[in-house]
Amino acid sequence: MTIRLLRFPFLVQKQIFEEMGLLEALSIAMLSKKSQATVRACLRHHKYHLRYVDDQNIRVERKLPNGNGHILVLLLNDRTPPPVSFQLWRFGNHEVAIKSKSKESNGVIATFTNVVSDNISNFATEILQYLSSLRPKLSLTLGISNAEKIRRIMKSVESVEEIKKISVLRPSWNSNKSPHDELVKLVLDECQRAKNLSVSIPTSDNFVYPITTMPFNFDSIFMSTARWVSREHFIKMFLSCKKVQLQWKNFTDEDLTAIFKSWTEGSRLEYLELEGTFDFYRGKKLGGVFRGIPGAAPVRNAIVPGWSIPNSEVVSFGGGKCYRVQQRDGQTTALVCINYKSVILTTDFKIGKEVDDMVARIEEEERLRREEHFARIAERQYMGRHRLEPFFL
């Protein structure tokens, strides 16, 4: 008996599509414009993440409000002819052979589908475009090895109203660790629609990115290789972001003074982490950096969030390691500190008498633990020296 799914009340449709796997929902969406509109309406409240690895696989993750979810992994290959056990699946202008298997774990159903096509690149581009049309908001992770594919993919997702995040990384199967200057430049140019950008692709020492009149406006940006970021780059292009994490970047004291002084003049930056090469910032002191910044005050003890100081919330800084700075409007205050091998700025912190008292209690407890530890050692040594010798008649 045929079930007229599109004639059911919307709440019934919504429940059915939430229980349905992503491959089945995708197949129904392709039947007609009405079915596509129905699928889009039923699934619009879910969180989606789309991951594409350079003609290898496409992974779609859907998280439901109750914490359960579905994962669809399309494993792409161009083996022809396909095995006899595969079934034909028509998608747009493509007729591909597929074979699926599913498993469930902790409320998440994962479907792995082998896809055989004679033109994997075109199929991948078209399905990315179609998935983007179903979802007005999307997060993307891209494992891409060349600039042309970035252009093609960004064009395929141009219908998305909001790109929450784009992560670009070198595919794990690609052993070529040489710099990809053209690719990184294109990512910075093409991916500025994203709210959050993460780039884990190496650049050469000669990489140059032009300082444009349009500053970056990311909620967060992460660069694994940031040697190319000059003082001028940072002030004109990065201070307009909310969160910035740059690795392999060594700024001089003069650079840091200019950057933090510009921050005090006005910036929406709430968190900054500069990780230098090897031990560049380890042991560094900030006294010289803040000598030229009015109102900067040294801080001894502070509570900082765990994501900026791993495994510790209450931190006691050495002399010259931490300063409090304030923007000119008096509305925003930040803490700038040296932690391990990074320079960190954060507006999420706590200082004052309560914190100082907490540090004093922690130090006193640690002192007592050390005294108890050494007392036990001394007792064992004493007993060892004065143990009773056997007595023979």
Q: Please tell me whether residue 15 adopts helix, strand or coil conformation.
A: helix
> Which pLDDT value is given to residue 259?
98
Average pLDDT, the chain: 87
Q: Which residue has the higher pLDDT, 65 or 338?
A: 338
Q: Residue 380: is it exposed, middle or buried by C-beta count within 10 angstroms (0-12/13-18/19+)?
A: exposed
Q: How far apart are CA 9 and CA 89, in angstroms?
A: 29
Q: How far apart are CA 241 and CA 256, in angstroms?
A: 17
Q: Where are the domains of the chain?
A: 45-357
CA distances from 376 to 52, 235, 365, 370 (A): 59, 56, 17, 10
Is the Cβ–Cβ distance between 221 and 196 less than 8 Å? Answer: yes
Q: What is the dihedral of CA 288, 289, 295, 296, to 10 degrees?
A: -90
Q: Which residue has the higher pLDDT, 305 or 377?
A: 377
pLDDT at 392 over 80: no
Q: Which residues contact 201 (CB under 8 A, 6 or more apart)?
A: 168, 169, 170, 180, 183, 184, 187, 224, 225
Cis peptide bond N-terminal to 81, omega within 30: yes
Is the pTM higher than 0.85?
A: no
Is the Cβ–Cβ distance between 249 and 227 less than 8 Å? Answer: yes
Show the CA angle centred on residue 59, arms to residues 109 and 223, nearest 5°.
Answer: 130
Is the Cβ–Cβ distance between 143 and 170 less than 8 Å? Answer: yes
Closest to 242 measured CA to CA, from 345, 323, 342, 339: 345
Query: If residue 49 lies in a helix (H) or strand (E), which one and from where to where?
Result: strand 47-53
> Which pLDDT value is given to residue 391?
47
Q: In this predicted model, what pLDDT tens digit does every residue of 74-104 receive, in sequence order?
A: 999 887 777 888 998 888 778 899 999 999 9
Our measurement of the distance from residue 375's CA atom to the centroid of its chain's CA atoms, rounded to an integer in Å, reads 48
Is the Cβ–Cβ distance between 247 and 226 less than 8 Å? Answer: yes
> Which pLDDT value is given to residue 64?
82
Q: Which residues contact 336 (CB under 8 A, 6 or more apart)?
A: 260, 286, 290, 322, 323, 324, 325, 343, 344, 345
- The percentage of residues in the chain with a pLDDT greater than 70, rounded to a whole number, is 93
Q: 122 falls in which pLDDT band (50, 70, 90)?
A: confident
pLDDT at 393 over 50: no
Show the CA angle centred on residue 197, arms to residues 195 and 199, nearest 5°.
Answer: 175
Q: Which long-range contacts (CB under 8 A, 24 or more apart) does 250-253 make?
A: 250/276, 250/277, 250/280, 250/281, 251/343, 253/288, 253/289
For residue 332, what are its two tokens? Answer: 């925003």
